Structure 1
Amino acid sequence: MLKANNKLGIIFFPAFDWAISPTHPERQERLLYTQDQLREEGIFDIEGVEEYKPDVADIEDVERVHFCFPDVNSVTTRSHRISAGGAMKAADLVMTGERDCAFAMVRPPGHHAMKVVHGSRGFCNINIEAVMIEHIRETYGHKRVAIVDTDCHHGDGTQDVYWHDPDTLFISLHQDGRTLYPGSGFPQELGGPKARGRNINIPLPPNTSDEGFLMAMERVVMPILEDFKPDLVVNSAGQDNHFSDPITNMNFSARGYAALNEMLKPDIAVLEGGYSIQGALPYVNLGICLAMAGVDYSHVREPNYNPDQIKQDDQTTAYIEELCRQLPKLYFDPPAFDPKGDSRQGVISGNQFIRHKQIYYDTDGINEVQQESLTLCDKCRGLYKVETRADSGPLCLGVEIPIDACPDCKSKGYQLVEDGLIKGGYRYVQLINRKDKDYVRYGF
């Protein structure tokens, strides 16, 4: 009998009762084929690999991360909360020491869900990795966390949630946003003024194969992780970089994904995208599981795999080599924040960082406009405020008091909520007080 070098927990949640439509790429078969493949390959016969059932995230688990308008129940289903609960289960297995590492193979995905949620975008309603990470911090104490997002689409939601958090490093490897949804994820997107360089984007050209991904991992991701010294490493494990994926243009293989995870050694992996339901996901998931368990994955081979056919050309290799030379500087020596710079990146007015955003929820067809502000406080990471309106609907207010809030920012946070309730003209007001674990919402 094979024995895992690392005790691995696997959590399945195919979400039988949730789909955007019966034929949509994001449907339950994404995990059913994987489930069959893992059982056929005998992965649960490996000593040290165990399967677990997901938990269900509570409303409060979502509300410590997101401003959901009008409320959590309006923008999620029970399946969304079980998906987040599956990620939380993976975290608990690792944090309690029951498992060395864990892989939450759950759906619906989450990495396009931003700080504010009015509906679904990029097939995502709530950010399941962020819900998991903040559950860890609330339950086990504050941790430095590195998220490495390997989905083909830029993790714009995770980037947005952690834009101002110096204790969360977000690195996204993805197909260049000039060629793929959501059209973001460029190197200059480095994080807010108090978290500069904590957001690193690696936009790879179409047709990047194993060579390019592993080069970026070796030359960019791993040196940054070594310097950041996270308490936990999370792989936001999207699999739509695969050469057979129907909605992307990359040439990554199942064995390449396994090699990436062998290099990364994530404590927790959480499934994101991946829509080659039969040709890729069963094999990619198998490779990731074996790599996380520390078991040989050299026999993993998907149908139609021909390394010569998917090999990247010399021009692509040269482009990625140059990226790898330039990108580490953005973490190790990030350029100073320009207080009068691009309004999409934010500007500084007095002691306030202000950023205007227009967001389109492509899945639900919703347009949102918002203004966020962050108090640039010398004593804590600052009071966060967001005013948001979707499709000319009611104006809503969100206020977040940070986990390390000083007395002034805490007092001002409650004052903002009180003023908003009395004279602000807001239909919905939500407070996230991470300092005192106080999560309150008001509706009129």
Structure 2
Amino acid sequence: MFQKILIANRGEIALRVLRACKELGIQTVVVHSTADADAMHVRLADESVCIGPPPSRDSYLNIHQIVAACEITGADAVHPGYGFLSENAKFADILAAHNITFIGPSGDHIRIMGDKIEAKRTAKRLGIPVVPGSDGAVTEEKEAKRIAAEIGYPVIIKASAGGGGRGMKVAHTEADLEIALQTARSEAGAAFGDDAVYIEKYLEKPRHIEVQVFGDGFGGGVHFGERDCSLQRRHQKVWEEANSPALNAEERSRIGGICAKAIADLGYSGAGTIEFLYENGEFYFIEMNTRLQVEHPVTEAITGIDLVHEQIRVASGGGLSVRQEDIKFTGHAIECRINAEDPRTFTPSPGTITHFHTPGGLGIRVDSGVYSGYKIPPYYDSLIGKLIVHGRNRVECMMRLRRALDEFVVDGIKTTLPLFRDLVGNADIANGDYDIHWLEKYLAKGE
């Protein structure tokens, strides 16, 4: 097991990883920008190192400074959390060159899954169902029209190197295709420095289903069930559930088994999430994230297994603590992402939190690194906390969620709490009857 882990992140995920390390008896080092000097994870860590000014490129994305912090403190491993350098293959390679363990997959696996075209090819080879579309990058309009005609309109054009909705355009007719192709390539080049795009069949009313997988580092793999992340705004997840209200036990077992086998065949090590669009009983691969997900707590709630513990165990060479037959799913869990944003316009709302009170009681968990008097800096992601609720079934979970949202108090800034209080009382949400377009339509109507 590791002696000292450096946590190369900030906010709630840095605190989440820090807690796991403390439980395992591992010394912790956190890095921080000057803007985060008073952050909770900095206060609680055994050691802290300031690595630069507020801009991420000068601090949390500064590989040289993070490696130097490892050498100064004697950290023998790095946990990247999510975002920032968590899916940076170069970072993983540089750490390996300095004999520092990256708590995550190999640089090669990060590269494969970070390239959306190569990821799709790999998924197809591993037996994972994929969305019909181009086999590689599409550069010419003539080729794009041919592929679109073969798979049928509407089609979606996606950036090969990116995500988060950038470089992503839908074409409903051949007339739309030329502009969509040009716009997607332009956005992809500006956002990711790579204008390569590919084409897929556009599904009209899919759900977003993802499967949590783990490779043990020795050619084995397991799955920890699925999460439903269909409630999204601009391709950003807002509300996540486990298990999905859209799947039955047979479908859950089938797609989980496919993913676990694929991860074993790939020789993958650590946590990963294989994401699908799901429509009319069929799953279609869209991407794989080679890191811990923001929404991992809902999986922990229904399995009772600490996924960060498992990450650390696998990275240290200890393999997984469970076999597939040991993983049982109990009850239902929902996570709401609480952001420092206007609940209607979603404009960021940095500032000082004057009062912060989290809900409690059976089945309630809050992951947050903020506190009363904390000043939210304007430089980073607006996520300030996650409310995770678990119940014996979805009905009980929704009841607890409603109560927990009423108890949650954040004063001094605007947050998305009012949005969730609206959603929890909506009939479609109560019935689990929604798809990836539902939330944007709901918001557009101003309900």
TM-score (norm. length: structure 1): 0.28
More helix per residue: 2
